[in-house]
Chains A and B, each alone.
Chain A
Amino acid sequence: MTDLAAAEELAGTTAAGRLALADVTKVFGSNGEQVRAVDGVDLTIEPGEFVTLLGPSGCGKTTTLRMIAGFESPSSGRIVLDGSDMISVPPNRRPMAMVFQSYALFPHLTVRQNVAYGLNLRKLPAAQIEEEVSLALTSMNLLKLADRAPNQLSGGQQQRVALARAMVMKPKVLLFDEPLSNLDAKLREQMRLEIRRLQRRLGITSVYVTHDQSEAMAMSDRIIVMNGGRIEQAAPPDEIYRRPASVFVADFIGRANFLPATRVESTGAGTARVQVLGETVEVPAHPDALTADDVVLMVRPESITLTAAPAGGEIRGRHGKVVAAVFYGEHVEYELETETGNILVVASDPDVDAIFAEGADVSLQFASDRAWLLRQP
C-alpha cells in the first residue's frame, strides 16, 4: 500500500534525533489535590529507534508523549533532543511531528492542503512545496485522493493523510498518540505493519503510545511499560514477554499464571531452586527474586502441557481437574483446578479427538526453562 521508494526520496538525508528524558515529572492539580501523572521518568531513545510507551489508562504514557511534543510542560526534569534542551522551546518550534488518535485533519482543507500546511508555514518556494507534498502523497498512496475533503475519506485513509502530513515535515522525532485505536481490527493490523515498515526504512526516531499490547509487540524496537507514572520496564518485546521485571508487567503483557513458590536456594547466575506444586525445580529468576522473601513463579499458559491422569485422583501437586475447556479453532483453553488455585492452560493446534472434557483428571508439566521467578509484590 505504501510506496517506500517515494518515502525514502522524501526523507532524503534527514538525521534521526536522539531524544533523552531525564527525571521528567509532571504534577497535575494545584495545592489541594496533587496527582503525579508522570513520576521521574528517565529514558534515552536512540536515533532511528521505535519505542512504544505501553500501559493501562492513567499510567502517564500520554502525558509523557505530550511533554515530549511540548503540549504539557514538565513540573521538573529535562527533555533533550540531540543535545539541545527542549523545555524552553515552544511546541511549534520543536523539530517533531505528531500523529493524533483523532487524526486531527483540518476539515476545511483538502488532503493536499492538509499535507502542505506545515510547509506553507515555513514559507518554502511553491515549487518545492508542490514537489514534496506530491512525494508524501505518493508514498502514502494518496495521490488519487489529493483533492478530497477529509470527511470524504475512510478512517484508514484519514490516518494515512495524518501520517503524510507529519512525515512531510521531515521531523527528527515522530510522535504517535494511539493513532490506530479508531480503526477496525483488520485495518489496524495492516496499518501497524505499514507504519513499522515505513519507519524502519526511513529510520525516523519514533515514540508511539498505545494501550494495545499486541500493537506494541508487533511494532517496537523497545517497549516501555508504564504504571502509575513510572517506568516498570524498558526492554525489547521478547524480553518484556519472557523476562518481565515485575508481576505487573507479566500480567499486563500476555497472560500468565502465578504459582505460589518457595525459594530453596539461589543457584548461581540468575537461577534458583524453588519448591512449586509439591516438587523442587530449577528455574531462571529475576535478580530481585534471588533475594526477596516472597516469590511467585510465572508460567505462561502455552508453556504448560497436559497429559491424562487416572480418574478420581486427589487434586494435589501436579494433579488437577479440568474445570472448563473452550475450543477456539487454532487453540484450546483449559481452566484447571489445582491445589494452588485455578490455572490457565493453552494448547495450540489441538487434536480434536484428544481434547480433555470438563471434569477430566489431568497431570500438568511445564518447561522449567520457560518459567520465570519473580518477587511477590
Chain B
Amino acid sequence: MAVTGLAPGAAGAAPPAAGAPTGRRGRVPVRTVVRQDPVTLALVVVVVAILVVLVVLPLATVLVRAVSGAGAEVLISMVTSAVNRKIILNTVILGVVVGLTGTVVGFLFAYAQARLKFRGKRLLHVIALIPIVSPPFAVATASITLFGRNGIISNQLLGQPWNIYGLPGLWLVLSISFFPVAYMNLLGMLRSLDPSMDEAAQSLGASKWHIFRTVTLPMLIPGFASSFLLLFVEAIADLANPLVLGGDFTVLASRAYIAVTGEYNVPAGSAYSLVLLLPAVTVFLVQRYWVAQRSTVSVTGKPSGRVELLRGFWGRVPLLTVVGLITALILTIYGTVVVGGFVQLLGVNNTPTLAHYQYLLSGIGNDAIIDTTLLALAAMPIAGVLGMLVAWLVVQRLRRGRGLLDFLGMLGLAVPGTVIGIGYAITFNTPLEIGGVRLMPALAGGGAVFGGAIAIVMVFVARSMPAGQRSGVAALQQIDPAIDEASTSLGASGLETFRRVTLPLIRPAFLAGLTYAFARSMTTVSPIIFITTPHTRIMTSQILSEVDAGRFGNAFAFCTMLIVIVLVVMGLLNLLIRLLPGATPAMATKEISA
C-alpha cells in the first residue's frame, strides 16, 4: 500500500539535497512519499472490492437487520425466552459432542495412518476423505434408511425401533461428516513432528507407550485444540442435517431457516444467525491466530530421521479394530447411497429400478444437474485465481494490511452458511440504486437477472475461495521471497510476476484450490437454499426437497450423480494441468554436472 506523507506538508517537500549537512537531532521525522508498483496497488484495490461485495456487504446487512426493530426483539428474547435458551443450549451441546467425537475419530485415523504398519493405507486414506466431497444429505438420508425407526440395521436386523431424529442422529451424522477435517489436521501435525524427538526419548530409556504419552500426545495438543474448534464451528453452523434429522431438536441454524422461509420474518432470521455468527467468528479467530501460534511442530526443514512404525500386537490390533469398524460404517453408509438409487425404496421395497435415474436425467432433475455443474464450473476459476491472488498479496506483496486481507478472505468460510445465505437474500434481491441511478440490478431471487444465477456463483466463490487461499499461503511460504524480488528487479510488474512466476510455482496448490472450489460449490447447501429460484435449480436444494417428500430413491440417485460429477471434474482438471505446456522446464540432458 502506498506510504503517504504523514506529517502535514511533508508530501512533496524536497528532502535535503545531497551533501548538504543536516543536523540529525533537530530533524522533523519526514516520511518520504513512495509510489509502489501501481499494478500491485490496483490489484489490491480490485481484490478488496470483490471481497467486500462477496462477504462484507451481505454480512453487514445481516448485522443491521439483526439489531433493528423485530431483530432486536429476538436478540433480547435469546436471554428472556426459555425456548430460545433451549435452542442455544442445543446448539452448544451439538457442537461439543461432535467436536469431541470427530477429533477422537480423526486422531485414531491419523495415528493409524502415520504410525502403524498395515496394508491398505492408501485405501484407508481415500475412504477417510470421502465425506469431504460427499453431498450434504447423503449421510443423513442413508442413516435414516439404516438406523431409523424402520431402519435396515436398527429394525430389520436388530429389531430395535430406534429414534434417529434429534441429537443422537445428528451426533452420528455430523461426526462422520466432519471428522475428516480433524483427520487431515492431525495427520499433517503427526507427519511433521521431528522423529528425532522419539529417538531421543527412546535413547533415554522410554518405552513406546511412555513416549506416546509423554512426547507425542503433548506435542499434539494444539492440533487437538484446533481440530475441536473447527469441528465445533462446522457442527453448529450446519443447516442441512438439522433440517433432515433434527426432529424436535432445534438448533440456531434451523431456527433461522424457519424464521426466514416459514415465517417470512427476515429480521428474526438475521437475529438468530447473528447469535450463530459470534461463536463461529470467535472460534475462527482463536483457532487461527492463537492456536496456530502455539504450534509445537518443528518447521526446521527436513526431518532428521524416519518414524519407526508400530508392528506389535497390542500397539496395532485394538486401534485397527476400531478404525476398521468406523471404516465399515462409512462404507455401509455410502454403499446405501449408491444402492438406494437403483431400488424402489431401500429397506421397504427392494425391487431394482432405473426410475430414479430416469427422473434425474429428464426434466427438473436434469436442469438441476446442468445448472449446478455449469455454475460451479463458472465459480471454479474465479475462486481459484482469487484465492491465489489473495495468498500472493498476503505472503509476498503486502506489509501493512496483510493480516486484514487474509482475514477478509477467510471470512467467507468462517461465517456460517446460513448467515451468508440470509445476507445474500436480503442484500442482492433488490437493485442497488443511488440517487435514482441503478448501479446494479437485483442479483438474487426470482426477479433477478439470469434467474438469480449471479448470486449463486458469488456464493460459490465466497465459500470455496478461502480453501484455495489457505493452500496458496502454505505453498507460497515455501518459496524464497527473493524469487519474487528477482522478477521485480528484472522489470516485471505485480501482475506479470504473478502470472509468469508465482502461479506456475504454486501450480499444485492452485490445482488443489480449483478442485476444492468445484467440490465445495457442488456440495454447498446452507447459503444456497436461501437464494435458489425456480429459474435456477441447484442439486443440493433439489435433494432437500426429495428427502422432504420422502422420495429417498431420487435423493440417493442425485447424491451418487453429484459424487460422480465431482470425481470426473477433479480427474479432468488433474489431467489438464498436467498436460499444459511449461509445467516443467525442458531438460535436454539428464546428467547432473558437478
A residues near B (Cβ < 8 Å) are 20-23, 27, 39-40, 42, 44, 69-71, 73-78, 80, 87-93, 96-98, 100-102, 104-110, 113, 117-118, 121-122, 145, 147-150, 152-154, 157, 162, 165-166, 169, 175
Contact = CB atoms under 8 A, between A and B. Distances in A.
Contacts of B27: 76
Interface stretch (B166-174, B257-265, B325-333, B480-488): B480-488
Contacts of A149: 584-585, 587
Contacts of A92: 37, 488-493
Nearest to A78: B15
The 3 closest A-B pairs by CB, nearest first: A118-B490, A147-B588, A73-B34
Contacts of A152: 587, 589, 592-593
Interface string B1-23: 00100000000000111111010
A93 B493 CA distance: 9
A169 B493 CA distance: 16
Contact of B19 (A22, A39, A145): A22
B36 interface: yes
A169 B490 contact: yes
Contacts, number: 147
Given A77-B15, A148-B585, 18 more contacts: A22-B19, A23-B15, A74-B32, A75-B29, A88-B34, A89-B35, A90-B38, A92-B491, A98-B486, A98-B489, A107-B505, A147-B587, A147-B589, A152-B589, A154-B593, A165-B486, A166-B489, A169-B491
A104 B586 contact: no
Contacts of B24: 39-40
Interface residues of B, number: 48
Contacts of A157: 593
Contact of A100 (B22, B486, B491): B486
Interface residue SS majority, chain B: loop
B308 interface: no
Interface string B470-498: 00000000001011011111111100100
A110 B586 contact: yes
B483 A148 contact: no
Contacts of B18: 20-22, 42, 44, 78, 80
A77 B485 contact: no
B37 A91 contact: yes
Contacts of B17: 22, 78
Contacts of A153: 593
A91 to B, nearest CB: 5
Contacts of B491: 92-93, 118, 121-122, 169
With most chain B CB atoms within 10 A of its CB, the pick from A23, A88, A154, A162 is A23
B490 A22 contact: no
Contact of B492 (A87, A96, A121): A121
Nearest to B28: A76
B564 interface: no
Contact of A165 (B19, B490, B496, B584): B490
B302 to A, nearest CB: 16
A27 B27 CA distance: 14
Nearest to B31: A75
B594 interface: yes
Given A73-B34, A121-B490, A147 B586 contact: yes
Given A75-B29, A88-B33, A92-B488, A22 B586 contact: no
B483 A104 contact: yes
B259 to A, nearest CB: 45
24 contacts: A22-B17, A22-B18, A69-B489, A71-B485, A75-B31, A76-B30, A76-B32, A77-B32, A88-B33, A88-B34, A91-B485, A92-B489, A98-B485, A98-B486, A98-B489, A100-B482, A104-B480, A105-B486, A118-B490, A121-B490, A121-B491, A145-B593, A165-B486, A166-B490
A90 B31 contact: no
A329 B284 CA distance: 65
Nearest to A79: B32
Contact of A106 (B483, B587, B588): B483
B26 interface: no
A142 B22 CA distance: 49
B582 interface: yes
B323 to A, nearest CB: 39
A87 B585 contact: no
B121 interface: no
Contacts of A98: 485-486, 489
Contacts of B505: 106-108
A84 to B, nearest CB: 13
B509 to A, nearest CB: 14
B594 A73 contact: no
A73 B500 contact: no
Given A75-B29, A78-B15, A108 B584 contact: yes
A82 to B, nearest CB: 13
B8 to A, nearest CB: 15
Contacts of B37: 90-92
Contacts of A42: 18-19
Contacts of B584: 108, 149
Interface string B326-358: 000000000000000000000000000000000
A22 B593 CA distance: 46
Nearest to A96: B489
A106 B586 contact: no
B100 to A, nearest CB: 40
Contact of B594 (A20, A22, A89, A154): A154
Contacts of A106: 483, 486-487, 501, 505
Contacts of A100: 482, 485-486
B29 A108 contact: no
Interface in B196-210: none
